[in-house]
A and B are shown apart, each in its own frame.
Chain A
Amino acid sequence: MNEALWAGFEGLLLGVSHLTLGHLVMLVIGGLLLYLGIRHGFEPLLLVPIGFGAILVNIPLAGLMEKGGILRTFYDAGVLTEIFPLLIFVGIGAMTDFTPLLENPKILLLGAAGQFGIFSTLLLALALGFTRPESVSIGIIGACDGPTAIYVTSRFAPHLLGAVSVAAYSYMSLVPLIQPPIMKLLTTEREKNVVMAPVRKSVSGRTKILFPIVATVLTSIIAPLGTPLMGMIMLGNLLKESGVVARLKQASEQEIANVVTLLLGLSIGATMQAERFLKIETLLIMVLGLVAIALDTVMGLLFGKLMCLATRGKINPLIGAAGISAFPMAARVAQTEGQRYNKKNYLLMHAMGANTGGQIGSVMAAAIMLSVLRGLGIG
């Protein structure tokens, strides 16, 4: 009897006896992500489930990420198969209004320039000793686009998924802090004060419907391996612009996006097991992620300056910083900074155009990278 009581008591202590310092640190990190999401509103839709997932997976002996565990099931079914990020893309497409971009398609080039951080950070990661597939996954943080980062990382370096995703989502939410000093530094007083003409209404309904189809066909022919990414975002946009499938549009941007966001966040959090996450590489990835987004901003601004010069001062270079995928934060930052220097300057719609261009640019850059890597024998 006494032995049975003692054994039962010991069973209750198993969790405590298996608790390591690593688990405790990860519980604190999970709590920190929850704090940032709840208290400061940093990407709460993702950081809350990621933070809670990180807590769940670091409870000793709970086995949530072991074969048959619930988080492992979510991860295998949705992340390894790449279904979750792709479904999120349908929702993003259904929520995105490309009209400001279609009004002034030249601005699409700013969305291309804003992807420089991907490729330059990849070079830096290689220089720091990361393997090629790992460097590709770290570079993609520069896409400033969570689903794209998850899609590419789950394919090339799934062991880095936790660090890459946390870096991508954290820095996306920190765009209003990261970008303004760079914008201030790289533009002259005169450039900051350039007033852009109001956006003219010039896009027909047919153009809006045809755009997602044309964009999918063109980009997929150029970079076929990116078809799932571009195809899903443009499918969502077609649902929105066609105007005949309101239920599917609503499901894509609400029910499906909400359920998948929850499962995706939990699955990402579940990759943050102490033994995999607490490494010097994680710290390096966080630093490189910051560098990636800073370099995106730098190149976007420089390209904006070039366009300002080419158009004889019709484009305010500040909107170049919005050529990244962090939507709509980057556009709001451009508007706020523009207003700081000239109260009569309304850059928002132009910056929204550059920002949606950044969304397309990040997907295109990832698509091209996947195709080039296949050509180089990787992936």
Chain B
Amino acid sequence: MNDLGFGLALLVVGMGGTLLSLWILSLLVLLLKRFFPYEEVKKADGPSH
């Protein structure tokens, strides 16, 4: 493989792989957020008398 082919292979596989990996990671984050939703912390009530 010549240098141009080597560089182009790295460009395509490298950029494609990075985009794909981070896209999958973003989907996993969405799943995490769905399974473990954010809950507003309720403010403690004042002392009862």
A residues bordering B, Cβ < 8 Å? 102, 105-106, 108-109, 111-113, 115-116, 118-120, 122-123, 126-127, 132, 135-136, 201-204, 206-207, 210-211, 214-215, 218-219, 222-223, 357, 360-361, 364-365, 368-369, 372-373, 376
Question: A135-B7, A202-B33, A210-B32 given as contacts; is B14 within 8 A of A222 (CB)?
Answer: no
Question: A112-B19, A119-B14 given as contacts; is B29 within 8 A of A211 (CB)?
Answer: yes
- The CA of A360 and the CA of B23, in the complex, are separated in Å by 12
* Residue from the list B1, B19, B26, B38 in contact with A106, Cβ < 8 A: B26
Question: A109-B26, A214-B32 given as contacts; is B9 within 8 A of A368 (CB)?
Answer: no
With CB as the reference atom, state the residue of chain A lying closest to B32.
Answer: A207
Question: A105-B30, A112-B19, A119-B14 given as contacts; is B25 within 8 A of A360 (CB)?
Answer: yes
Whole-angstrom distance between the Cβ of A130 and the nearest chain B Cβ: 9
Contact B26 A108 (CB under 8 A): yes
The list of the 9 closest CB pairs from A to B, nearest first, reads A105-B26, A123-B7, A105-B29, A206-B36, A119-B11, A368-B17, A112-B22, A126-B3, A112-B19
Contact A368 B21 (CB under 8 A): yes
Contact B10 A369 (CB under 8 A): yes
* Residue from the list B6, B13, B15 in contact with A126, Cβ < 8 A: B6
11 A–B contacts, CB within 8 A, in A order: A102-B33, A105-B27, A105-B30, A115-B14, A123-B8, A207-B33, A207-B36, A360-B22, A365-B18, A368-B13, A376-B6
Contact B14 A202 (CB under 8 A): no
Contact B22 A214 (CB under 8 A): no
B residues bordering A, Cβ < 8 Å? 1, 3-4, 6-11, 13-15, 17-19, 21-30, 32-33, 36-39
B-chain residues with CB within 8 Å of residue A106 when the two chains form the complex: 26
A-chain residues with CB within 8 Å of residue B17 when the two chains form the complex: 222-223, 368, 372
Question: A201-B38, A202-B38 given as contacts; is B29 within 8 A of A102 (CB)?
Answer: yes
Question: A102-B29, A105-B30, A210-B36 given as contacts; is B6 within 8 A of A111 (CB)?
Answer: no
* Residue from the list A119, A204, A215 in contact with B10, Cβ < 8 A: A119
A-chain residues with CB within 8 Å of residue B9 when the two chains form the complex: 372, 376
4 further contact pairs, Cβ within 8 A, besides A119-B15, A122-B7: A109-B19, A118-B14, A123-B8, A218-B25
Contact A361 B7 (CB under 8 A): no
B-chain residues with CB within 8 Å of residue A127 when the two chains form the complex: 3-4, 7
With CB as the reference atom, state the residue of chain A lying closest to B13.
Answer: A372
Whole-angstrom distance between the Cβ of B9 and the nearest chain A Cβ: 7
B-chain residues with CB within 8 Å of residue A376 when the two chains form the complex: 1, 6, 9-10
Whole-angstrom distance between the Cβ of B22 and the nearest chain A Cβ: 4
Contact B22 A111 (CB under 8 A): yes
A-chain residues with CB within 8 Å of residue B38 when the two chains form the complex: 201-204, 207
With CB as the reference atom, state the residue of chain A lying closest to B11.
Answer: A119
- The CA of A126 and the CA of B24, in the complex, are separated in Å by 31
